[in-house]
Homo-oligomer: A and B are copies of this chain.
Amino acid sequence: MNLLAPRNTWYPLTWSRNVTRTLSRHRILGMDLVVYRSEAGRAIALDDACPHRLAPLSMGKLRGDAIECGYHGMTFGPEGRCVRIPGQPVIPPNARVPSYPLHEKMGLVWIWPGEAALADPSLIYDLPQHGEPGWHAAEGDALRIETNYLNLADNLCDPAHVSFVHLSTLGNSASEEIPVEHSFGERGVLVWRWIKSAPPIPLFAKYGNFQGHVDRWHYYDYIAPCIAVIDFGSADAGIIADPADRGAGLRIFACHFITPVDDNICIDHWLHVRNFALDDADVVQRLHADFRIAFNEDKEILERIEQVARARPNAKTIRLAIDAAPQRMRRIVERMVASEAEARASA
Could you tell me which A residues sit within 8 Å of B by CB distance? 32, 48-49, 51-56, 59, 68-74, 85-88, 92, 94-95, 154, 160-161, 163-165, 176-180, 300-301, 304-305, 308-309, 311-312, 315-318, 320-322
Contact = CB atoms under 8 A, between A and B. Distances in A.
Given A70-B301, A163-B86, A318 B51 contact: yes
Given A87-B178, A88-B321, A163 B73 contact: yes
B160 A87 contact: yes
A318 B56 contact: no
A30 B297 CA distance: 27
Given A48-B308, A56-B305, 9 more contacts: A32-B308, A52-B318, A54-B317, A56-B308, A59-B304, A68-B164, A85-B320, A87-B178, A92-B318
A304 to B, nearest CB: 5
Contacts of A55: 301, 304-305, 308
A301 B54 CA distance: 10
Chain A interface main SS type: loop
A48 B246 CA distance: 41
A295 to B, nearest CB: 15
7 closest A-B pairs by CB: A54-B308, A86-B176, A87-B179, A73-B164, A51-B318, A88-B321, A49-B308
A163 B71 CA distance: 9
26 contacts: A32-B311, A51-B317, A53-B305, A54-B305, A54-B308, A54-B309, A54-B317, A55-B305, A56-B308, A69-B164, A70-B165, A70-B301, A71-B305, A72-B161, A72-B322, A73-B164, A74-B320, A86-B164, A87-B160, A87-B177, A87-B178, A87-B180, A88-B179, A88-B320, A92-B318, A95-B318
